Amino acid sequence: MFIEPHVRGEKIGWIEVICGSMFSGKTEELIRRLKRAQIANRSVEIFKPIIDNRYDPEDIVSHDARKITSTPISSSAHIPLLASGVEVVGIDEAQFFDVELPAICEQLALRGTRVIVAGLDMDFSGKPFGPIPALLARADYITKLHAICVQCGNIATHSFRLTATQDTIMVGEKESYEPRCRKCYNEGLRNDTSVT
């Protein structure tokens, strides 16, 4: 349960991280929290990496077609400049940002901003992804979401890549990835030598 912190009338900020595998609802949850902040008349600024143009070049769009307006950026260094004076900052697909993102989120939180970040915690090879581990270490609140394994129906924690591409960063959807539980993910790696 999320409880908004208060300290004797002071404006305090914090970092929330929403993580999990692909198709676990991370972006949907990010959009839900940001829309609630907008309904509460908070000033909100939302960012996504410029390389994420799957559904829309500017808006953040979830797999179930929910969307919210955002600003695509090429570097996390743009965030403090573009979010000056806002109360809530949302960041989607954080795994695609540079290693400076956690320090920037910390800087925003210290100046009283609520920072909500969503991203994959592991890449297709099951390794911690980009700046997400450092964000998790700095987060005040963490929400780990799960998808459903398409192979067996159990809780999915991994994003299994369906193509032979070995690049760590590959923006894709259902044609390129599927959610799998730990067992089915590892069985898939053993059965498909092109993925390892």
Catalytic residues: 93
| Residue pair 126/185 in contact by the 8 Å Cβ criterion | yes
Q: Can you give the chain as a three-state secondary structure string? A: CCCCCCECCECCCEEEEEEECCCCCHHHHHHHHHHHHHHCCCCEEEEEECCCCCCCCCCEECCCCCEECCEEECCCCHHHHHCCCCCEEEECCHHHCCCCHHHHHHHHHHCCCEEEEEEECECCCCCECCCHHHHHHHCCEEEEECEECCCCCCEECEEEECCCCCCCCCCCCCCCEEEECHHHHHHHHHHCCCCC
CB 116 within 8 A of CB 33: yes
